[in-house]
Amino acid sequence: MNSDDQKLIYVYCLTSFQPSQIETYENGKLYLIENNGLYLTVKNVSEDEYSEVALKKNISNESWLDTHVRTHISIISKIMETQTVIPFNFGTIYTSAETLNLFIDKYYSQLTHALHYLENKEEWSVKIYCDKNTVINNISILSSTVSDIELQIKNSSPGKAYILGKKKIELIGKEIAGIYNSYSKLFFTQLNSCSEEYRLNTILSNDLSGRDDDMILNVTFLIEKERLNNFIELTDQMISQYENIGLALDLTGPWPPYTFLNLSH
Amino acid sequence: MQDGLYDIKKEITILDILDRVLTKGVVITGDIVISVADIDLIYVGLRVLLSSVESMEKMRTID
């Protein structure tokens, strides 16, 4: 299989069964390496593109990185449609089938255990966003502290009302954080009732999310397939219930189970 | 259930993908390893490059 210029082995994922139709991906370049009933979907790549030095250079090229990571995850996602996978990190390269087999031999029992644990489960990502302006427009309903100060303003002299008005602005800033926190907890608690495991991820800034509304929850769930419809219905219900108060939900999945891949399971 | 990612037409950001394929599942490493320092560099780069990356073709189909 190896040719002189394609002597490195790039690994996509590991499965318990032979993935079907892998010859239809990547122009027929994928093949399987079998080790004691486990199947690694791999392809041969060149040192020109994937040697340690070349890889470090290439991952700094956003166009190369974008194309290749999307292909990486697309192939794993296709295989994942029919069976449980252990996804490998992007750019996992072995110099020979021997060293790859050594890795499998060493972690064999943990790999089979992880495959068993992940069976019939899917990784889903939920991001909840909140529109600050909608919160501000409804602040007197959402915050009793703000509604109290508004009442005081109404019943005060113009001078006192002016000072209280400035206080109200400060107060709104503080109250927004509390409101975000309560929304975040509300969504997390309800959605987590359908999940086996979760990981809370970093809240991304508006620059990184590319959105005008604020991210208030970034969580990944591991969901039993049989509970998936309930989970998705719940996200639909929650968003129809809360979108009028400025909340938006971004649901993506199923992802290869990177987040819950713990070989110590 | 749906094939592939939940809504294939939805923009799956490069950041979401990188967050998984580079930073998670670190227990599996090959003979050639992308170091953590490089991953940090990618993220720093992404903060600047994200908008241009995201305007590129989305969810390319498999060859």
Same domain flag for A106 and A187? no
What was the ipTM of the complex prediction? 0.74
Q: What is the pLDDT of residues A144-178, one digit of tens each?
A: 999 999 999 999 999 999 999 999 999 998 999 99
In sequence order, the β-bridge partners of residue A121 are A224
Q: CA-to-CA distance for A14 and A38, rounded, in angstroms?
A: 7
From A119, A148, A169, give the residue that closes a domain: A119
CB distance from B55 to chain A under 8 Å?
Answer: no
| A126 lies in the same domain as A74 | no
Contact state of A78 with B62 under an 8 Å Cβ cutoff: yes
Contact B63 A26 (CB under 8 A): yes
pLDDT at position B52, please?
A: 36
- Looking up residue A217, the CATH number of its domain turns out to be 3.30.70.600
- In this prediction, residue B3 has a pLDDT band, given cuts at 50, 70 and 90, of very low
- Tell me whether B44 touches chain A (CB under 8 Å): no
Query: Are A77 and A132 in the same domain?
Result: no
User: Residue A199 domain-assigned?
Assistant: yes
* B34–A69 C-beta distance less than 8 A: no
Q: Is the pLDDT of residue A30 over 60?
A: yes
Placement of tokens 């966003």 in the chain: A129
Do residue A133 and residue A93 come from a single domain? no
Higher pLDDT, B33 or B46: B33
Give residue B26's pLDDT band: very low, low, confident or very high (50, 70, 90).
very low
C-alpha to C-alpha distance for A76 and A256, rounded to whole angstroms: 7
- Whether residue A237 is contained in a domain is answered as yes
- Do A68 and A191 belong together in one domain? no
Q: Is B36 on the interface with A (CB under 8 A)?
A: no
Does the residue A190 lie in any domain? Answer: yes
Is the residue at A113 inside a domain?
yes
CA distances from A123 to A126, A255, B1 (A): 10, 5, 13
B60 touching A (Cβ < 8 Å): yes
- pLDDT confidence band for B38 (50 / 70 / 90): low
In-domain check, residue A142: no
Q: Are residues A234 and A130 in the same domain?
A: yes
User: Has residue A112 got a pLDDT over 90?
Assistant: yes
Q: What is the mean predicted confidence (pLDDT) over B41-60?
A: 42
The residue in chain B having the minimum alpha-carbon distance to the alpha carbon of residue A30 is B63
Residue A172 inside a domain? The answer is no
Q: What is the total count of domains within chain A?
A: 2
Mean pLDDT of chain A: 91
Which runs of E-coded beta strand occur in chain A? 8-15, 30-35, 38-45, 86-87, 93-94, 121-130, 197-200, 214-224, 247-255
Q: Which residue has the tokens 């926190």?
A: A181
Claim to verify: residue A94 and residue A132 sit in the same structural domain = no
- Looking at the structure, do residues A115 and A127 belong to the same domain, yes or no? no
pLDDT at B47: 45
Tell me: the pLDDT tens digits for A215-262? 999 999 999 999 999 999 999 999 999 988 899 999 999 999 999 987
A74: Cα within 13 Å, side-chain hemisphere: 18
- Say if A36 falls within a structural domain: yes
Phi, psi at A20, each rounded to 5°: -90, 155
| Full residue range of the structural domain in which residue A18 is found | 8-119
Asked whether residue A165 is domain-assigned, the answer is no
Per residue in A38-61, pLDDT (tens digit) is: 999 999 999 999 888 888 788 878
The pLDDT assigned to B34 comes to 58
| A96 plus A126 within the same structural domain | no
Q: What is the pLDDT of residues A205-218, one digit of tens each?
A: 888 888 999 999 99
Whether residue A233 sits in one domain with residue A221 = yes
Q: CB contact, 8 Å: B61 with chain A?
A: yes
A92 and A108 assigned to the same domain: yes
Residues A132 and A105 in one domain: no
